[in-house]
């Protein structure tokens, strides 16, 4: 059985949920309250850090069972990748971080330039 996840995309607000009457603090379907608390702590930590906040919609953190966080998205440098990893690893409730971040920038046609 696949683990339920709570996904953090801190700088993207869905127009479908904007102004909705539902409880925005409630865990989404399939996510446990504990996972959602960790996801919200990650979102807060990333948005509070002015050096990481500009990375915005390029990052996604999925909180799975037992506090395992999987990072996805794109950062510009290996230094940014390490800062994101370290920041998320420091959040209470995070037991480990699976780093699937890619380093580079997107160019025309949706191709990733990995600067290699």
54-82 pLDDT, tens digit each: 765 678 888 888 889 999 988 888 998 99
Residue with token string 């990748």: 81
Whether the per-residue pLDDT at 3 is higher than 60: the answer is: no
Three-state DSSP at 96 gives strand
* Cα 101 from chain centroid (whole Å): 10
Q: Which architecture does CATH list for 28-113?
A: 2-Layer Sandwich (3.30)
> pTM for the complete prediction?
0.70
């Amino acid at each position: 059985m696949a683990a339920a996840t709570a996904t953090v995309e801190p700088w993207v607000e869905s127009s479908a949920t904007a102004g909705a009457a539902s409880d925005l603090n409630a865990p989404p379907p399939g996510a446990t309250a504990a996972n959602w608390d960790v996801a919200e702590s990650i979102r807060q930590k990333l948005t509070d850090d002015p050096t990481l906040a500009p990375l915005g919609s390029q990052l996604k953190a999925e909180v799975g069972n037992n506090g395992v966080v999987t990072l996805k998205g794109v950062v510009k440098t290996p230094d940014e990748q390490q800062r994101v990893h370290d920041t998320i690893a420091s959040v209470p409730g995070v037991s480990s971080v699976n780093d699937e971040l890619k380093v580079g920038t997107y160019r025309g046609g949706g191709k990733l330039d990995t600067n290699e």
